[in-house]
Amino acid sequence: MRLTILGGGGFRVPLIYRALLADAGASGITELALYDVDNRRLATIGRVLQAMSPRPPIVTTDLTEALTGATFVFSAIRVHGLLGRVIDERVAVAEGVLGQETVGAGGLSYGLRTVPVATSIAERVAAVAPDAWVINFTNPAGLVTEAMTRRLGDRVIGICDTPAGLVRRVVRALGVSSQPVQVDYAGLNHLGWLQKVTVDGRDRLLELLADDDRLASFEEGRLFGAEWLRTLGMIPNEYLQYYDLARETTAAAHQRGAFLLDQQERLYEALASAADPLSTWERSRRERDETYLPGRDEEDLAAGGYEDVALALMRAIARDEPATLILNVRNRGTLPGFDDDAVVEVPCTVDARGAFPQPVRPLPDHAAALASAVKATDRAVLEAAETGSRRSALRAFATHPLIDSVTVAQRLLAAYEREFPELDYLRVVR
């Protein structure tokens, strides 16, 4: 079976390759193809992979060649590269709103330029590899997954490592990591809440929420504080800080993209001639992980990320061995207040037929209202991308919960249009 990685020159591709090598053939993958629009990045990452295994992958800048014969397609593209992230964050911060690549203004800009490309890829998959499973890593993951499902249906599944990391930390805090655990987690990508943690038929979440020491032992407990978590009666994923702690995070002027752009430019230059490309890449990866959230537990840094989620998903489908994973899939009646085609992030049962959402508890009113408001901005982005309507794009900015002024929304959209030629498709119609 062929696995094709779109964005094959990306920094994190060696993580996927390492997971594949450790998988020892359990997923059934016998051929790896890397696709990217940048030959230099492909060649550079190829040197790292060559140091990991003597068997080279197929590398190509021809999308049709990459997709033909694929059983699985990992989509991890970044339209306008890391420079795009820098611009997304800089423009937002200049207007005094949150600068973060997937949340708020930056996420809307990212989505507006990414959805047309993702849709085009989905159409190409439908034409040359209609039986392939597309596993979407591309951010904003929920929005991009929903765009691709409109062309490929349920054969597109979105993944994120944030929910898995939250569950891992909570289970460790409870001291039940060796026992079977069932979780109730619900929401949208980068906007979800852990509502129950069931061990031996008993929900242990309230026990955790009552224990200050245990809450202080993991990232989300320290980030949100015991009092707020007890007030919620559930544990938000880390991206909820941008809503629950909006003033603090906006004041922090998140501009991580500039750091990453500088780091990666230095890394790719060094990798081109490094005597030991794998060690060079490893040092850069460690620096990236350690600076993501200072103080993150060593165990979390060592744990697998989205590459392990992707491999678990692929194994469940390829081997028809049911697994439970938190994924981005079409709602199909799972969460009240969202139509069947809305992509939500919930626990799913996965087997050879695909991913099927499990029943979850309805979100409380305040969480459901926030998720509905953000989903409405996603839908406005999708409408803008499909119709070229600038008014739909403006509505997305003006109605997002983290943008509190129509005037600011107008300036944000105009600034992003000046910066990104990819937004030239927007017209003042409809």
- pLDDT tens per residue, range 79-112: 999 999 999 999 999 999 998 989 999 999 999 9
Q: Which of 155-159, 255-259, 380-384, 426-430 has the lowest mean pLDDT?
A: 426-430
**Helices marked H in 60-218:** 63-67, 81-94, 105-128, 141-152, 162-174, 205-209, 212-215
- Write the CB contacts of 337 (distance below 8 Å, at least 6 apart in sequence): 368, 371, 372
Give the confidence band of 301 by pLDDT, cuts at 50, 70, 90. Answer: very low
- Whole-number Å distance between alpha carbons of 66 and 61: 8
The superfamily CATH assigns to domain 2-80+99-158 is NAD(P)-binding Rossmann-like Domain (3.40.50.720)
- pLDDT tens per residue, range 242-282: 999 999 998 776 678 888 888 889 999 998 889 999 999 99
The DSSP bridge pattern shows strands 354-357 and 343-351 to be antiparallel
- pLDDT tens per residue, range 9-49: 999 999 999 888 888 667 788 899 999 999 999 999 999 99
The separation between CA 240 and the C-alpha centre of its own chain, rounded to angstroms, equals 14
R_g (Cα) of the chain, nearest Å: 21
- Whole-number Å distance between alpha carbons of 208 and 312: 28
- The domain ranges of the chain are 2-80+99-158
Classify residue 296 by burial, with Cβ atoms within 10 Å: 0-12, 13-18, 19+.
middle
pTM beyond 0.85: yes
Q: Tokens for 153?
A: 């249906």
